[in-house]
Structure 1
Amino acid sequence: SPHLGKKFYDGLIDFITSGPVVCSVVEGRDAIAKVRDIMGATDPREVAAGTVRGDLKEENVTTPLGTIKNLVHGSDSLESARREIAIFFKGEIGYES
């Protein structure tokens, strides 16, 4: 994990395992950029209305590196997508890049 050993790691694991999770894979031209636009800014103080994070966020902010409860995650690169697909789907999904 790229976050292993960081100050917020234990809280991150507690949060992402605290309830149900829905995983999906989206493919297509510029899929990563398009999905990230739909999700909205990572920082809840900068998120726009009309995005998933903007319309459905909880009002938890606190920082530096404390409390931000991220409603949705999307891969930020093809490399991240490959790694995350392998973690969540363990070979169940075939894809070509």
Structure 2
Amino acid sequence: MKMLQAPEHVLAEHYQDLQRKPFYPALISYMSSGPVVAMVWEGYNVVRASRAMIGHTDSAEAAPGTIRGDFSFHISRNVIHASDSVEGAQREIMLWFQSSELVSWADVGHHSSVYPA
């Protein structure tokens, strides 16, 4: 996890698939208007689990109790992004993080569950 001011070239590459959309300039302006917190999450079914916690892209349709449902008020001010696939996450991780910033962690010698057997 790190907080940074997103460089415009990183935003341009991150949102390259949206460059022809009419809202693209406003998106880049919004995303570069203040700091962002970038994170890498890992775990079993992490893409599906994270997207369930985050909620529907359109905050008007996001369920209460999700991040977007509780904290986002308009799709153009979405407050959070999540990769839509492992492949997408790998591309985005390489874009936002240097390999030296990533920590590999294994729960060696501990229970595989937070609850005792």
TM-score interval, smaller chain: 0.7 to 0.9
Q: CA deviation at 1:39?
A: 0.4
Is 1:78 the counterpart of 2:86? The answer is yes
Q: CA deviation at 1:18?
A: 1.0
Q: What TM-score, normalized by structure 1, do the two folds share?
A: 0.81
Identity of aligned residues (%): 40
- Compared CA separation, residues 82 and 94, structure 1 to 2 (3 A): farther
- 2:113 paired residue number: none
| Partners of 2:60 and 2:69 within 8 A in 1 | no
1:29 maps to amino acid: Y
Which ranges of 4 or more aligned residues in structure 1 deviate by more than 3 Å? none
- 2:95 paired residue number: 87
- 1:55 paired residue number: 70
Secondary structure of 2:38 counterpart? coil
Secondary structure of 1:21 counterpart? strand
Q: What TM-score, normalized by structure 2, do the two folds share?
A: 0.68
Secondary structure of 2:99 counterpart? coil
Over residues 29-88 of structure 1, what are the superposed CA-to-partner deviations in whole Å (9 max), with x where a residue is unaligned? 100000000001101121111011111123x35xxxxxx211100000011101110111
Q: Distance in 1 between matches of 2:40 and 2:71?
A: 21
Q: CA deviation at 1:15?
A: 0.9
Q: CA deviation at 1:5?
A: 2.3
2:55 maps to amino acid: G
1:12 maps to amino acid: L
Task: Give 5+ residue unaligned stretches, structure 1.
Answer: 62-67
Q: CA deviation at 1:90?
A: 3.1
Is 1:27 the counterpart of 2:42? The answer is yes
Structure ID, larger Rg: 2
Total equivalences in the alignment = 88
Higher helix share: 2
Quote the RMSD (CA, aligned, Å).
1.6
